[in-house]
Structure 1
Amino acid sequence: MRIMGRPRALVAVVAGALLLAGCGSGPSQVGAAVIIGDRSISVDQVQNLIDKAVREQPYARKLASEHKLDVVGRAVVSQLVLHELLAEATEKHGITPNYAQIDTQLANDPLNGPVPADASDETQAVNQVVARARDHREELTDTYLAQALTDKILPNLSVGFDYTSIGVVADPGTGVTPQGAEAKKAAFDLARQFAADPAAATKRIGSDLQYLTALRQQSGNPETVPGFVGAGNVVPAAQAGTLATTPLFGSTTGSAVVMPFPGQESAWLVAVIRQRTDDKPVATEKAPELDASTKTAIGMRQLQPLFDELGVRVNKRYGVWDAVAMNVAPSADGSQGTVLSPGGSGRTQQ
């Protein structure tokens, strides 16, 4: 009997040791929707907000009837992750909320009222649903802090980048303009080359600049040939407008970025960040006025590097983090691009 008892005792000791080891290694993914450093957001927290949205919002009930509440779940996780990253960034920069201003907003709460079931823009409607399901003071505080972060960072931020594109003009080798999944795959493959070998990026972009010159000479009207490639661009964020909301302004030096090409449907911009300056004032002309949504988005974009720095992990039941869209995508295939650090490590969470 003693011989049989010893293995059981040993198992108990080992199990206890493993339990203690687990307790000291940070939060567990079990039961967690997201882990952010030494903190976690539970699956229950996410589900409670989904349930509240369905109870209170016609648009959420419509999605429930269509078996599409996964869309709401991804939006909940996205907003809660950004909330945590924003708290980290603003603490680092010494930014605190102006609660008097936030209380004034709450007095005429812009988050009151339903999101109608017939809203036409699903992405916008879902984000509004989740914002209304969250604590309204917290949501308004996040908006205030994002805009304050923009005010703090924008005057000192400039980014230098080189870029080319896939899907804007015909490939010089094949004479065919890639489209759809083929174009996206080609853009991702090219970005991996750029991240792994900066010399390859310089060579490819130089070749594409020659191709652009040739196309414009052949056209007879150079303005009809879009600027699908460029080099030596150094752009102050204060002058960039909506461009400052993109991953070009949230990525570290040496990163390769894939994102939708501005103003070109189904085309992809592939860029290399050559320099990033954010520690001294940038001399610019008078900066254009920013609307509130752009100002908020610029502040949120500055949270991009924190995802990796804090070791954020999203439970795969919700999807993967898309560093370009700054939200949770259903899968890597559904992402709006990727950001690759030097050497080729991706920031679209796999």
Structure 2
Amino acid sequence: MSTVLKRFSLVGVAVALLATGCGTGPAKAGSAAIVGGEAIKLQTVQDRTVTVLKKEPAAQQWHEQGKLDQVSRLVLTDEITHKIVEHAAKRENITVDENKVYDSIREAGGAEAASKQSEQDPSTIHRFTRDILTMGELARRNLSTLQITVDFLFVKDLKEAKEKAQQVAADSSKMKEFIESAPRNTSGAAQSGSNQKVRVTENPTLATTPLWAAKPGTVIAFQLDEQAATSMVALVKERNTVPAVPGEDDLAERVDPKLLADFGKRIAQYLAADLAIELNPRYGVWDPILPSVKPSVGELSGFMAAAATKNKS
């Protein structure tokens, strides 16, 4: 037996050990995660992980380096995202034309070509493509008309942003204090603001951020600019539908499809915000900021929680 075949024959064993060494998992036995009461089976994640390991050289390298967890988390992230998008589609009565799904895959060179260099495979690429088209439709319905009102401040790093957001989560009045004490930048411009009206058409750099996934009353901390290491703390106060600005009727057709889908994913998150997401501890925790499965709470890419209002005597 060749070395390559030996490696592949051991993949299933490795994944099985990964799945069974789980400790205490979600309430339903045999689940990798439970989303809104619906289980994502361990077997599903295990089978898909084996498929990815066999088809993707990069994934094979991860496996050889003892990083099998990373592949499994990618697969589980995809399964959870599908549940979120599916729920959002039902809420908004969105049905994707299957001809568009097949056309998109055909344009990419077929199912095998379309699923290369990803956690998808020919058996999942149709579902994935349908989800992308659904997110695109969610984006189109909100791109020109969704407006949020936020209090915000910029801080130097993510650690500080998380700390401040946690304090706001414990007491929302802290936000005013942080805004008032926020320093100005070297040009003298304010690094904070109150009751700011935000629309994605006017602030395209914010299109993929968790601001659009948050319910009013939610405080968020996330990295805004990786190169400059700038992070934002934001308290989302309102979420409204406003009239589109003249000339924006066909805006969705002029926006990059990936950006449109990423914005739509945030809308799906908002629509599915009430779905409880419980992970088998073996895989880690759900990160709503990215959104994705992360190994531990300490590796979350930000902070998101409802901000408490304290009654003053």
* TM-score normalised by L of structure 2: 0.81
Q: Which of the numbers 144, 151, 157 marks the counterpart of 1:155?
A: 144
Alpha-carbon distance in structure 2 between the residues aligned to 1:95 and 1:33: 28
What is aligned with 1:146? 135
Contact 1:255 1:272 in 2 (8 A): yes
Contact 2:91 2:271 in 1 (8 A): no
Alpha-carbon distance in structure 2 between the residues aligned to 1:252 and 1:264: 28
State the SS of the aligned residue for 2:144: helix
What is aligned with 1:197? 171
Alpha-carbon distance in structure 2 between the residues aligned to 1:114 and 1:85: 22
Shift of 1:299: 0.7
1:97-176 correspondence runs (5 A): 97-110=96-109, 112-113=112-113, 128-132=117-121, 135-167=124-156
What is aligned with 1:60? 59
What is aligned with 1:71? 70
Contact 1:49 1:134 in 2 (8 A): no
Shift of 1:114: 9.2
What is aligned with 1:317? 282
What is aligned with 1:180? none
Q: Which amino acid aligns with 1:131?
A: Q
Identify, as 1 or 2, the structure richer in helix: 1
Further displaced range: 38-47 or 282-291? 282-291
Contact 1:52 1:133 in 2 (8 A): no
What is aligned with 1:235? 198
Ranges in structure 1 where 5+ consecutive residues have no aligned partner:
1-26, 117-127, 168-182, 217-221, 345-350
Change (3 A) 1:35 1:230: same
What is aligned with 1:336? 301
Alpha-carbon distance in structure 2 between the residues aligned to 1:316 and 1:67: 19
Contact 1:158 1:276 in 2 (8 A): yes
What is aligned with 1:35? 34
C-alpha offsets along residues 299-330 of structure 1, whole Å, 9 cap, x if unaligned? 11112245541212111111111111011111
Alpha-carbon distance in structure 2 between the residues aligned to 1:133 and 1:226: 51
Shift of 1:96: 0.4
Alpha-carbon distance in structure 2 between the residues aligned to 1:190 and 1:133: 45
Alpha-carbon distance in structure 1 between the residues aligned to 2:247 and 2:221: 29
Contact 2:114 2:125 in 1 (8 A): no
What is aligned with 1:16? none
Q: Which amino acid aligns with 1:154?
A: L
Q: Which amino acid aligns with 1:64?
A: H
Alpha-carbon distance in structure 1 between the residues aligned to 2:48 and 2:59: 11
* TM-score normalised by L of structure 1: 0.73
Alpha-carbon distance in structure 2 between the residues aligned to 1:251 and 1:114: 32
State the SS of the aligned residue for 2:236: strand
What is aligned with 1:119? none
Alpha-carbon distance in structure 2 between the residues aligned to 1:114 and 1:145: 18
Contact 1:319 1:329 in 2 (8 A): yes
Q: Percent identity?
A: 24
Alpha-carbon distance in structure 1 between the residues aligned to 2:88 and 2:194: 31
Alpha-carbon distance in structure 2 between the residues aligned to 1:184 and 1:109: 38
What is aligned with 2:94? 95
State the SS of the aligned residue for 2:238: strand
1:278-293 correspondence runs (5 A): 278=241, 280-283=242-245, 286=248, 287=251, 289-293=254-258
State the SS of the aligned residue for 1:97: coil
What is the number of residues matched between the two proteins? 280
Q: Which of the numbers 209, 227, 232 marks the counterpart of 1:269?
A: 232
What is aligned with 2:79? 80
Ranges in structure 2 where 5+ consecutive residues have no aligned partner:
1-25
Shift of 1:281: 3.0
Change (3 A) 1:227 1:132: farther
C-alpha offsets along residues 265-320 of structure 1, whole Å, 9 cap, x if unaligned? 43321111122114x43446645831011001001111224554121211111111
Q: Which of the numbers 173, 180, 186 marks the counterpart of 1:206?
A: 180
Change (3 A) 1:198 1:249: same
Q: Compute the RMSD of aligned alpha carbons.
A: 2.5
Q: Which of structures 1 and 2 has the bigger CA Rg?
A: 1
What is aligned with 1:186? 160
